[in-house]
Amino acid sequence: LEETFRGRLRNDHSEIVLGGLLDVFPKLEQAGRIIIIGCGTSWHAALIGEYLIEEYAQTPVEVEYASEFRYRNPVIGEKDVVILISQSGETADTLAALRLAKEKGATVLGICNVAGSSLARETDAGVYTHAGVEVGVASTKAFTAQVAVLTMIALQLAKRKETIDAETYRMLVKELSETPAKGRLILESNKKIAAIAEKYKEAVNALYLGRGYLFPVALEGALKLKEISYVHAEGYAAGEMKHGPIALIDDNLPVIVVAPQDAYYEKVVSNIQEVKARKGNVIAVVTEGDTGLHEMVNDVIEIPRSHLAVAPLLAVIPLQLLAYHIAVLKGCDVDRPRNLAKSVTV
Ligand code: F1P
């Protein structure tokens, strides 16, 4: 995160500078619609981007899987701005989506980690995530960096469109600037998370729940567990639990609930009660000091208090660590999971 913010967040919290987008910001301001496209983890980041841009900049956003977008006949034109997200910049579906959007006259922007990649070359403009070299096949720090870039885009756009006031803008830039230090604090829970992983290493299924900005984080937590530990995991918007997944809950099912004290807190607590009433095992990611929840659930992982808009950057870390420890305990190769490729170029 520090690298992603370097030179982009002014120390006095007065400004976000996204040099790569300077020329295209007027296009973004006038966009009738923004379409964000990616695959896998990048698609989860896109969903958070949708929530942030609609909340703060009030531009309509659609999120698409590149693998769907490229094969249908999407209604898209010159007024649309398409943001393509890819760690590698070489994912075949994302590149095909880019070319289709370009052909139809849209402005195409990239969020990418690899300088000189096809995505970086073919987009009109973009932002590098500066997530360093991703050694593991499954995206982790690239996700955090993608979300950080999308948050900066949303806030910068909101400022330019004057859909947020100067005070809110400064407060959110400050919140962003505090996330690297808060992220480091979460890493100190590593041993505790390893102990929780030990308890659940035999699980064959897992359910991840979150609301609002933390719904895509639940999706991402489930994907990480699937990718590196080969445990079947489902991520759900917590409010959707009663529409199906509730049938899965019994005393064998770990349910990982992202439950910081935010605007959705009361609702998430009632979801936890529903799981507990059916004897599910709840691992909750909570705001530090939230002792009320400690008593209600089986295991807790604390994260520092933060504004809702930056919470995904923090809440995903314990979920990545949990997937990592379960994979290690199961003897899986966390860096090179079976059947997966770093760049899916076909
Ligand atoms: C997309 C992706 C990753 C996933 C795995 C396979 O890659 O689905 O999100 O973790 O590595 O590829 P990219 O387009 O972001 O490079």
pLDDT tens for each residue of 145-187: 999 999 999 999 999 999 999 999 999 999 999 999 999 999 9
Rounded to 5°, the CA angle 67-43-21 comes to 105
Question: Atom 2, ligand 1: which residue's CA is nearest?
Answer: 40
Higher pLDDT, 86 or 334: 86
Q: What is the pLDDT of residue 158?
A: 97
Which pTM value belongs to this model? 0.96
pLDDT-derived band at 261 (thresholds 50, 70, 90) equals confident
CB hemisphere CA count around 155 (13 angstroms): 27
Residue ranges and CATH numbers for the domains of the chain are 2-181 (3.40.50.10490), 188-329 (3.40.50.10490)
What value does the mean pLDDT of the chain take? Answer: 94
pLDDT-derived band at 50 (thresholds 50, 70, 90) equals very high
pLDDT tens-place string over residues 60-92: 999 999 999 999 999 999 999 999 999 999 999
The C-alpha atoms of residue 58 and residue 80 are separated, in whole angstroms, by 15
* pLDDT higher than 80, residue 137: no
Q: What is the pLDDT of residue 10?
A: 83
Q: What is the pLDDT of residue 237?
A: 96
pLDDT-derived band at 341 (thresholds 50, 70, 90) equals confident
Verify whether ligand 1 is closer than 6 Å to residue 86 (CB atom): yes
Contacts 24+ apart (CB under 8 A), 269-273: 269/293, 269/296, 271/209, 271/238, 271/239, 271/241, 272/296, 272/297
Verify whether ligand 1 is closer than 6 Å to residue 137 (CB atom): yes
The ligand 1 atom at the shortest distance from the C-alpha of residue 94 is 14
CA of 83 to the centre of ligand 1 (A): 16
The ligand 1 atom at the shortest distance from the C-alpha of residue 138 is 10
CA of 224 to the centre of ligand 1 (A): 11
Verify whether ligand 1 is closer than 6 Å to residue 146 (CB atom): no
Q: What is the pLDDT of residue 190?
A: 97
Verify whether ligand 1 is closer than 6 Å to residue 42 (CB atom): yes
Q: What is the pLDDT of residue 193?
A: 97
Active site residue 79: no
Both tokens assigned to 99: 């070319």
The ligand 1 atom at the shortest distance from the C-alpha of residue 88 is 16
Both tokens assigned to 307: 């504004």
Handedness of CA 16, 22, 28, 29 (dihedral sign): positive
Average pLDDT over residues 268-287: 94
Verify whether ligand 1 is closer than 6 Å to residue 123 (CB atom): no
Query: Hey, which of 139, 223, 334, 340 would you mutate to test ligand 1's pocket, going by the most ligand atoms within 8 Å of its Cβ?
Result: 139
pLDDT tens-place string over residues 13-48: 788 999 999 999 999 999 999 999 999 999 999 999
* pLDDT higher than 80, residue 317: yes
The C-alpha atoms of residue 259 and residue 284 are separated, in whole angstroms, by 6
